């Protein structure tokens, strides 16, 4: 993500996750398809977690308060998950009951999974709003004296 930009990898992860969720809804039902879809989703989510963490660290407002800022970021990512889970359960139950009446027995899952995919795709709009320039450059954080000191330390060893 350092070479191509973090937002590109966020977009790729969003597409992978959404595609895996949508595929789970429309592929034939079965254990193997479910495992494959969750595996693909996990790849997308892994990309997202790694690059999102790097992106957040690039834009933290105050170098002296990293711990506090990362704590706030963690709450901002965890709180929607905690808040949405009971709502998703309510939707699942409501549409499952409706699905039984109209003979679509997995209607609740279709609705909840498509809603999850839509929210993941919607997140791309918010990522787009992130400024393209980093607040700080990784090279600016490196102390050039570290290289000199490392070379001095290595010269003390018989290699």
| Total length of the chain | 159
pTM for the whole thing?
0.72
Q: Which two tokens stand for residue 117?
A: 């995919």
Output the tens digit of pLDDT for each of the chain's 159 residues: 566 678 888 999 999 999 999 999 888 888 999 999 999 999 999 999 888 888 888 777 777 788 888 888 889 888 988 998 999 999 999 999 999 999 988 899 999 999 999 999 998 888 887 765 554 444 444 455 555 555 555 555 554
H-helix segments, the chain: 6-26, 31-59, 66-102, 107-128, 138-141, 144-155
């Amino acid at each position: 993500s350092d070479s191509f930009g973090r937002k590109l990898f966020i977009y790729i992860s969003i597409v992978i996750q959404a595609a895996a969720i949508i595929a789970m809804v429309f592929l034939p039902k079965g254990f193997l398809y479910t495992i494959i879809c969750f595996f693909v989703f996990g790849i997308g989510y892994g990309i997202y977690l790694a690059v999102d963490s790097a992106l957040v660290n690039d834009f933290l407002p105050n170098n002296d308060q990293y711990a506090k800022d990362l704590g706030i970021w963690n709450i901002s990512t965890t709180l929607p998950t905690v808040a949405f889970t009971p709502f998703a359960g309510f939707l699942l139950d409501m549409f499952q009951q409706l699905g039984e009446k109209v003979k679509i027995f997995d209607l609740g899952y279709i609705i909840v999974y498509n809603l999850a995919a839509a929210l993941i795709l919607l997140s791309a709009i918010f990522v787009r709003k992130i400024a393209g320039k980093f607040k700080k450059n990784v090279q600016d954080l490196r102390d050039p004296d570290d290289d000199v000191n490392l070379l001095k330390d290595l010269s003390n060893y018989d290699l």
